[in-house]
Chains A and B, each alone.
Chain A
Amino acid sequence: MPKKSDYMISRRGFVGGVVGLVGTVISAVVGLPVIGYVVSPALKKGAEEEWITLGPVSALEPGIPAPFTFSQMKEVGWRRARISQTVYAVTDGSGNVTVFSDACTHLSCKVHWEEGRGAFICPCHDGLFDTEGKVVSGPPPKPLYSFQTQIENDQLMILVEG
């Protein structure tokens, strides 16, 4: 025959349980929203993609990447900031134009075209890319990102994230 205490929660056990429960509820009510609070800027979607005009295609010399710098207004937290970006346009002489991002595919440092070595060079870890954006040497795992392009009245345009 089981004793009475086997069924009943003691006063001590009851108070302990209530304190634990209330504590858990309070932690959840405060703690869970805080996760959203910390993560929220990471979840913000950027503005729509937009076409940016870089300049005349006829000015490009075949095989020699030319830098173009443009800026976009971007929302950064509570402010709107002008963020500029450099891209490299290169033509093969028969009308094909490729525009590369200057972000190294290794760890996102900025590459620059070095005429003497005929390559895009990343200063951080010596990544080298050729005029087709392909990796020549160094740690980059992928070729340079190339933008979607469009040419209207000799004006070179690229599709960029907002």
Chain B
Amino acid sequence: MATRTAKVIDWLDDRAGLLSVWNSVFDRKVPKVNWWYTLGSATLFVAMMQAATGVFLSIYYIPTPEEAYSSIDYIMNDVAFGWLVRGIHHWGATLMVILVFLHMLRVFYYGAYKYPREVTWLTGVVLFLVTMGLGFTGYLLPWNQRSYWATAVGSSILGTVPIVGDFLLRVMRGGDDLTILTLSRFYGVHIWFLPASLFGLMGVHLYLVIRNGISYVPRRDE
């Protein structure tokens, strides 16, 4: 049995060379570190959960003012395990912001952003902003009072930018008011633009983590 599995892996590796990728990702050397170093992997895990549950939510969710709330109501109350899929997406969103933030604090306080890991830090900054963007755009999608006014306030904050603020606000809303155009562009940004950026940048981020190795815990005399 074991030999058969080994044979299949051998056959595949001979043609795809995946074993060396597997080894450099999972069998790389790491210093002795602590639990704070698990926050990045935790974030990755939650991000993948968000992607998976988000894809399934899109089967029922309709991004229009008339249907948005009712379609989520349907997911929550009528679809089998709809409450679970949406619940994971809902709470996962909050959890991801918390994890990303703690991950950032860990890197900051351990000075792990220093040479040669500056680029990893910079991609991390953009990943943080993309995560915030996902939170902001996703918040509008239920189209209830809370999400409507949160977006009214959030987009008005953009409107306070000097000179171009009003233009930016109108681009974000797709006009003067929060309308179907706002909802549909927030939906598009939430399910395509930002996730594509997120997973693309995560690839770069992880490549850099593996390439440079992880930093050790700073010692007291450093």
Contacts and interface: CB of A to CB of B under 8 A. Distances in A.
Contact of A79 (B152, B153, B171, B180): B180
B156 interface: yes
Contacts of A42: 167, 170-171, 173-175
Interface residues of B, number: 17
Contact of B153 (A39, A46, A108): A108
B42 to A, nearest CB: 34
B176 interface: yes
A76 B153 contact: no
A38 interface: yes
Contacts of A79: 180
Interface in B105-160: 149, 152-153, 156-157, 159
Contacts of A2: none
A41 B181 contact: yes
Interface in A30-46: 38-39, 41-44, 46
Which applies to chain B's interface (DSSP): helix, strand, loop or mixed?
helix
Nearest to A161: B176
B149 A76 contact: no
B179 to A, nearest CB: 4
A106 B152 CA distance: 11
B177 interface: yes
Contact of B175 (A76, A106, A109): A76
A41 B153 contact: no
23 contacts: A38-B171, A39-B171, A41-B170, A41-B181, A42-B170, A42-B171, A42-B175, A43-B170, A46-B176, A74-B177, A76-B175, A76-B177, A77-B174, A77-B175, A77-B179, A77-B181, A81-B179, A108-B153, A108-B156, A108-B159, A109-B152, A109-B153, A124-B149
